[in-house]
Structure 1
């Protein structure tokens, strides 16, 4: 695995939604490994603030405000990044929104649907399209952040899961399109990952949320960042069109442990 020793030294990495949670961990990982990192955020000044904190620690990071669903803002951001850093080697499409609370399908509005698709699916397309000419020049790499919701549905999260399914199909199709130019496209599908929302929950609720996970805990942003760095790196040079699931074994199981009946070698139930 990549890590330390300036592995990414001199290379340029763009992380959308890079100012919070998983995105922030990804940004920090690349920067600490020597990359020049462009952090994108949609809240005014947030990306610049996070970038300044990392720069104070000696890392080569800059922030850009841009709504990834707006083609004008996306094109402007990538033009600015290319001017400042000279090109792009890696794009991490991490920016995403979810429902404000779970909403049953019958109560979904068209605005709900359109908003989530605009950021999660349209944003992934727009940023990939803007980055592709820059990535071709350096045989770069794209890593999209999906979710286990692309293959195992969440209840009352139809539009979110639908966007993640779209992202995984997009990953495979784009991998074929860009392969002749040496540009690889892969995705990560995280399960439950500790974030601002999870950490704000009471400890008993946190325990309940991870009871169905075989490893018995939520993952961390750093664990996702390590996998993103690997897939983007030359160590994964023969991997493209792949979705890597990182979920503590959640989707590997047929059922939760509490519902299993295990037959021992003597034929008895336990």
Structure 2
């Protein structure tokens, strides 16, 4: 399918690995000039990006800075993908509500919600001028109460609502805003033994590989397998394109059938 986005520009946050890297690769393959932003820039990202920015997007200054650098590098922003999220596994406690300190709440909300708010606010004048599009990467956790880490589902629920609120305001002005909510994805967040998946495995007292192989059954993935980052990236690329011109303010679940009800 011809998406018609060749020659456009995109800022993708959290683009060094996993879903973010897959999105950068998919957009670059469609001829989009991608500015990839991440705390740590990887060779894989440098290979596909027109420009890369090393930045901490959990701060207001970082979000403003990445937009300034993107504008300087590519001249304007057509598309914004607010993908950065989750957080440093070392800093995430799997404890319950009473045992999690305020810092975890603040850190999770800064990275998973306010990074998108700050980056969008800085990039929006250019996106409005070009009548572009925004995709926020949320999570099915936004629809599922409880779970770990405390604060993550709450931040993603707020991010999903932020996208809906933005869409209501911006659709009449020619800018589309949509949300993509993945389930478990085969990204380093889960596949890296030293990442969040490894931490969950240790908490349950099982091997990391056993955790991954048992996840589809444990969380009820109807397809019987974990989603690949490239599958999420293809959905994002479609939503940014004019092929999705009538899709506004929607939350697109891509979880292999994990959620059983909307």
Name the TM-score, length of structure 1 as normaliser: 0.84
- CA distance, structure 1, for counterparts of residue 171 and residue 261 of structure 2: 33
Q: What's the CA shift for 1:33?
A: 1.0
Are 1:179 and 2:158 an aligned pair?
A: no
Q: Is the 8 A contact 2:108 2:151 kept in 1?
A: yes
Which of these residues, 25, 35, 47, is aligned with residue 53 of structure 1? 47
Which of these residues, 186, 200, 209, is aligned with residue 215 of structure 2? 209
Residues 35-90 of structure 1, C-alpha deviations (whole Å, 9 max, x = no match)? 000000013xx25x333333xxxxx5211012223222322221221122111110
Are 1:104 and 2:96 an aligned pair?
A: yes
Seen in structure 2, the aligned counterparts of structure 1 residues 130 and 101 have a Cα distance that, compared at 3 Å, is same
2:181 is matched with 189
Are 1:126 and 2:115 an aligned pair?
A: no
Residues 119-147 of structure 1, C-alpha deviations (whole Å, 9 max, x = no match)? 11110100110111000111100000000
Q: What's the CA shift for 1:208?
A: 0.9
Larger relative helix fraction: 2
- CA distance, structure 2, for counterparts of residue 179 and residue 70 of structure 1: 28
Residues 217-255 of structure 1, C-alpha deviations (whole Å, 9 max, x = no match)? 00000000010011111011111110000000110269x
Q: Is the 8 A contact 2:81 2:136 kept in 1?
A: yes
User: Alpha carbon RMSD of aligned pairs, Å?
Assistant: 1.8
2:249 is matched with 241
CA radius of gyration, larger in: 1
Name the TM-score, length of structure 2 as normaliser: 0.87
Partner SS state of residue 5, structure 2 = coil
1:12 is matched with 9
Residues 169-198 of structure 1, C-alpha deviations (whole Å, 9 max, x = no match)? 101100011112100100001001101243
- CA distance, structure 2, for counterparts of residue 197 and residue 85 of structure 1: 30
Q: Is the 8 A contact 2:21 2:45 kept in 1?
A: no
Are 1:89 and 2:89 an aligned pair?
A: no
1:259 is matched with none
* Number of residue pairs the alignment of both structures matches: 243
Partner SS state of residue 102, structure 1 = coil
2:197 is matched with none
Are 1:135 and 2:127 an aligned pair?
A: yes
1:218 is matched with 226
Q: Is the 8 A contact 1:2 1:230 kept in 2?
A: no
Q: Which runs of 5+ in 2 are unaligned?
A: 194-207
2:24 is matched with 27
Q: What's the CA shift for 1:158?
A: 2.9
Q: Is the 8 A contact 1:2 1:233 kept in 2?
A: no
Q: What's the CA shift for 1:101?
A: 4.7
Q: Which runs of 5+ in 1 are unaligned?
A: 55-59, 255-270
- CA distance, structure 1, for counterparts of residue 71 and residue 241 of structure 2: 20
